[in-house]
Amino acid sequence: MDFSRRDFLKGAAATAATVAFTGVMSGCTAKTNAETPAPENAAVNTKWYDENYFKKPNPITNIAETIDVDVVVVGAGNGGCISAVSALDLGAKVAWVEQGAGVITFAGEIAALNSKIAMERYGVSYTEEERNKIVNDICRYASYENEQRLVKLWAENSGRTMDWFVDKMAAKNVDMFLETDLYETSTYTTPAVTHTVFKKGEFVEMGPNYMGSQLANPVWEQYADEMGVQKLFKHTAKQLIQDNNGKVTGIVVQRNEDEKYIQINVSKGVILATGGYSGNPEMMSALRYRDKDAIVNNLGGHGHNGDGIKLALWVGAAMDRNHAGGIAFNRAALDLDHHVGEPYSSGLSDIWWAGSQPWLKVNTRGERFMNEDGPYDFQINGGITQPDRYWFQIFDSNYWEDVNAFHTTICGRVVAAKGARNSEVLPGVFPCKNKSEFEGAFLNPGLESGRLIKADSIEDLANQLGIPAVEFARTVERYNELAAKGYDSDFGKTSRNIRPVIKAPFYGIALGNWLLCTFNGIRINTNMQAVTENGDGIEGLYVVGNDSGGFFANSYPQYYGGLAQGRTSCFARLAALHAVTDSIYEA
């Protein structure tokens, strides 16, 4: 049987989607009094978001069982794994709640500054001045609508938390890689911060490599089991419990199997890490999520229903004020009859991983409209601002030479290089060593899906894509003139990346916005405690990962590869330290 890479990819997608979906569905229950809003909360909207949506439910009273622990961690993803093991490591009695059947295992890169492994094995370190520059650059991506103190906290503490991470993994035969093959453009710098785990002794220099949280998170689960965690997987967090002073003293969770409620009392605190709200379109609307209707793929949304954020809001925590909170790839392939604004899909078959290659981009009028080079969020912002809210990527038969010249890095990498992770990011998608690998991993599956269009002439390409042919031909001609000059006087693209579109056959694909996760969330202080509108910490309540806010706003600083998981890992450990010891510093 001829089993193509594309079939494999589809199969893997289906399996992954089924697992994720089953996990989510097993978390679904019939409406209970937990979901019924209390009548006294009738709404007069005083906030920028829809307060009605976040009405506090009646307290759950029909408790079937009660458990007493020091710390509860909610969520068994990247944040929850680290919080749970950290708290256990510090000697706390921990209950670990997860709606699904096991740890969640996507994401791979983790950004940290000045880890021992970076400094000692790879010779990479940053001075205080460089670190401050990095902090300010990250804040610039957020237009300073974030909390600089949190970014500084990450910059100063991610190294030592990574050291703990590395030591723990090393004891279980898992090693850490630092990406040092980084290419800069004339506009953006890319510091070497991206750490990824791999199986000790099994790293293949030119890949593909099996790396990331699919490897690390089962190891964290093993640690937690060994240290006697009270695991409540297939349980869904429903409500926090507060005392009269507002301190969080516990949580009510629901066992998925029989819908019974269990109250878990805590002596130290509850740590929420439920992964944001990217899977909850209603909540996105309630939070006025910017450009929600331009999302065309939402792989990663399953199970991310915003529960942690809701729980925290119900006990008086404050939400980030920024409405544009998500990481998104410019790699969602569109059917040509799709119209942005229609309900989005969420399959791997919709993904064109080469979408971040800085080839010529045109809008539906056939016009070039921006410098194609830059962080994927910026590319999306530019694209969805255009008529019809999507764009076309255009290239010619020199694609292999082009992608080698572009030398995109981190998760946008499509060409294998020394000093790069070369990991298999998704099944079947990995940085390639030669043209035929590239064709097998990217080009052919794109053509088979019917989304990548191939044509013998520019005019035919325009006709197949449905772009006005005359304008498109003019755009291509102008682009080729700039390429011949080696200088982009129109949009200032880095010279090495203006590559002519001259060699038939020609290719084009319609692309849109692929949401990965949300990142605006509950405001926290530098102890990782949720805060109220006036900035007071809520005792006993910690929020980390995509549920927490303050770190990002508007755009994701993609060139700090793995910053989402980097802040998640770092802050998940600091939250556990503070919950157990009252200090974010190790004794």
Ligand X SMILES: Cc1cc2nc3c(=O)[nH]c(=O)nc-3n(C[C@H](O)[C@H](O)[C@H](O)COP(=O)(O)OP(=O)(O)OC[C@H]3O[C@@H](n4cnc5c(N)ncnc54)[C@H](O)[C@@H]3O)c2cc1C
Residues that bind ligand X (CB under 6 A): 74-80, 97-100, 104, 106-109, 236-237, 273-275, 300, 303, 305, 307, 327, 411, 516-517, 545-547, 562-566, 568
**Nearest CB to ligand X, comparing residues 363 and 546:** 546
**Nearest CB to ligand X, comparing residues 305 and 322:** 305
- In angstroms, what is the minimal distance from the CB of 412 to ligand X? 11
CB 61 within 8 A of CB 298: no
**Nearest CB to ligand X, comparing residues 74 and 134:** 74
Nearest to 225 by CA among 330, 81, 116: 81
* Token pair listed for 562: 């793995």
Rounded to whole angstroms, the Cα distance separating 549 from 129 reads 26
* Token pair listed for 481: 């003139």
- In angstroms, what is the minimal distance from the CB of 134 to ligand X? 16
Strands 248-255 and 261-272: antiparallel
**Nearest CB to ligand X, comparing residues 311 and 511:** 311
Rounded to whole angstroms, the Cα distance separating 399 from 402 reads 5
Write the Ramachandran bin of 451: left for phi over 0, alpha for psi from -120 to 50, otherwise beta: alpha
**Nearest CB to ligand X, comparing residues 359 and 560:** 560
Among the residues of 407-468, which ranges form H helices?
435-438, 444-448, 458-465
**Nearest CB to ligand X, comparing residues 279 and 446:** 279
Instruction: List Cα–Cα distances, 182 to 50, 240, 247, in angstroms.
Output: 43, 44, 46
- In angstroms, what is the minimal distance from the CB of 405 to ligand X? 25
* Token pair listed for 341: 């604004």
- In angstroms, what is the minimal distance from the CB of 53 to ligand X? 16
Rounded to whole angstroms, the Cα distance separating 569 from 563 reads 10
- In angstroms, what is the minimal distance from the CB of 544 to ligand X? 7
**Nearest CB to ligand X, comparing residues 117 and 467:** 117
* Token pair listed for 135: 């902090």
**Nearest CB to ligand X, comparing residues 107 and 134:** 107
- In angstroms, what is the minimal distance from the CB of 98 to ligand X? 5
Rounded to whole angstroms, the Cα distance separating 360 from 377 reads 17
- In angstroms, what is the minimal distance from the CB of 568 to ligand X? 4
Closest-approach residue to ligand X (CB): 77
Rounded to whole angstroms, the Cα distance separating 41 from 77 reads 33
Q: What is the 3-state secondary structure (H, E, C) of 23-40?
A: HHHHCCCCCCHHHCECHH
- In angstroms, what is the minimal distance from the CB of 274 to ligand X? 4
